[in-house]
Amino acid sequence: MRKEERYKGVLDWFQANVPVAETELHYENPYQLLIAVILSAQCTDKRVNLITPALFEAFPTPEVLAASTPEAVYEYIRSVSYPNNKAKHLVGMAKTLVEQFQGVVPSDVDELQKLPGVGRKTANVIASVVFDKPAMAVDTHVFRVSNRIGLTLNSKTPLETERELVKHIPERLIPIAHHWLILHGRYVCLARKPKCESCGLKPWCKYFLTHPL
């Protein structure tokens, strides 16, 4: 199967069967989503959503968070993975946001990466979800699913995967395609044992063609 056929089949299926796909993180503004995405690194969205209401209430603006300390923030996020590092990142992020961006979350991926705790994946999430830019964030789910299906056959790094996906997915679909792949990896194409029997992508999946039921 040619790569173009595989991409068309996969994207057509998602458009027909998953017309709505969005982040499962709870937020009300760009600042809140930025916090939530930083916290979600190597942590479940479910866990992040449990702790962010109190965190958002205690630190409602970048200015309030910037004036705080990692020790104070830690008390609100102690149940997530790597709470010490993330507490430092959050305070540093807020300080940079206030000092360099007047407290406004930037829309540019390169500008976003100037914020402590914000790597390319997080920057792409913000650019895509908040600003609807054609940015493809590659987390473990996107990386695994893309390679397993055959969308990115030889990608060795998240950046290689990102470039390959952006090259073949129509620009207008990139923001939602990010969520399609994440959710598919989270609920169907599981890491240890993919649920191939209930997967609608079987006709185009390279893995299924070599591992039939």
Mark whether 139 is an active-site residue: yes
Which of 86, 88, 95, 121 is flagged as catalytic? 121
Q: Using CB atoms within 10 A of its CB, is residue 134 exposed (0-12), middle (13-18) or buried (19+)? A: middle
Which of 139, 156, 193, 202 is flagged as catalytic? 139
d(CA 94, CA 62): 5
Determine the Cα angle at 187 with ends 184 and 192, to 5°: 100
Mark whether 45 is an active-site residue: no
Q: Where are the alpha helices (DSSP H) in the chain?
A: 3-17, 30-40, 45-58, 62-66, 70-77, 83-101, 109-112, 120-129, 140-149, 158-168, 174-187, 206-210
Contacts of 210 (CB under 8 A, 6+ apart): none
For 37, the 3-state DSSP assignment is helix
CB 141 within 8 Å of CB 186: yes
* Catalytically active residues, by annotation: 121, 139
